Amino acid sequence: MVETVQSADGTSIAFERAGAGPAVILIGGALSTRQGASGLAELMAPHFTVYAWDRRGRGDSGDTKPYSVQREIEDLAALVDAAGQPCFVYGHSSGGALALEAAQQGLPLAGLAAYEPPYMVAGEPDDDFNGLVSKAVAEGRPEEALALFIGNAMPGSLDEMKQSPFWPGLVQLAPTLPYDLALVHDGSIPVGRFAAVDTPTLLLVGGASPNWADAAAEAIVASVPGAVRRTVDGQDHRAANEVVAPILIDFFGALQPLTTA
């Protein structure tokens, strides 16, 4: 059943919940909706009350303008309030960046796990890329924005993806791409802000992922007090739910007694 909460600016945020036990909020990355988290939610539901939600501008959630990272943090805060305490969060890709930004602002979380927040710790920020994606969205060319994003994030896969049945759905989500880009700013890790995170934190990185993911995880772990990292063997940026779920169950379970089915 789809439920909603009101964010601080009045935006309606849609979510679904499943399971029983301590609350875990799943935060998707770019081009994701709550349906994309259903497989992971199903695997975790025997132990947790799992919340899968549509970030603003996606699915059944609203999209009050103008966008700001602060407003997305307020969206997550509204879900945390609805879930009650204790509350854990797991963020994939830019969802991990959102979780970290919220934690450094003091959002009351019992634990935080993030899979490959997309920061770049080497090389120059690609401001032209960010600007081109945002310009295409602003000028009403979402498919062009999507093609730019996919071409940068997954080189060589664009033609195949354009032929896939889910391409039109991705085009519908393309106007939210500037939101994900804003979450990681110029790509550099905000080490000063992340030093304020006092939530138990786990950084996950795929063993088959590009070098940027490993470097970003190391830099985040060095920035967040007490954070630990784990390499997920054989996985890339699109890690399998059946591999990630046991890791999250163990990590969050060590922080809070679990409900078993």
pLDDT, tens digit, 9 for 90 and up, residues 56-91: 999 999 999 999 999 999 999 999 999 998 899 999
Task: Check residue 197 and report its DSSP letter.
Answer: -
Please state, for a pLDDT cut of 90, what percent of the chain lies above it: 89
pLDDT by residue (tens digit) across 191-217? 999 999 999 999 999 999 999 999 999
Tell me what percent of the chain is helix, strand and coil, each rounded to the nearest 5: 45, 15, 40
Domains of the chain, first to last: 3-123+187-255 (3.40.50.1820), 127-179 (no CATH)
Residue with tokens 């498919």: 143
First to last CA, the chain: 21
Taking residues 118-123, what's their average pLDDT? 79
Q: Is the pLDDT of residue 261 over 90?
A: no
- Which DSSP helix (H) or strand (E) runs through 87? strand 87-92
* Res 256: pLDDT: 79
